[in-house]
Amino acid sequence: MAGSVKLGRKLKAARKAKRMTLMEVQKKAGVSATHISQIERGMTSPTVGVLQKLAKALDTKASSFLDDGPTRRRR
């Protein structure tokens, strides 16, 4: 569930950075505001399709919600 919380925080931060409300994202993405809120709070994980819709509505790449930045190589 930790991954869902982290993804949700990134999603909310991206939405806030664009100064968009849940209702505005709902309108652009075609995903209910309730579902977006649940994702942002880490209560549920989005499907790949929903993540892509949300990313498009926020004018970003879906991978930006999943990336943790550069990973170290194990030796």
Q: Give me the residue label for tokens 């030796």.
A: 75
Total domains in the chain come to 1
**How far does Cα 46 stand from its chain's mean position?**
8
Domain assignment present for 74 = no
Q: What is the domain-level CATH number for residue 37?
A: 1.10.260.40
Tokens for 52, please give them: 């892509």
Domain assignment present for 75 = no
Domain assignment present for 73 = no
Domain assignment present for 72 = no
How far apart, in whole angstroms, are the C-alpha atoms of residue 69 and residue 47?
22
Domain assignment present for 51 = yes
Question: Which pLDDT tens digit goes with each residue over 54-65?
Answer: 999 999 999 999
- pTM for the model stands at 0.85
Question: Which pLDDT tens digit goes with each residue over 11-41?
Answer: 999 999 999 999 999 999 999 999 999 999 9
Domain assignment present for 71 = no
Structural domain of residue 37, as residue ranges? 2-60
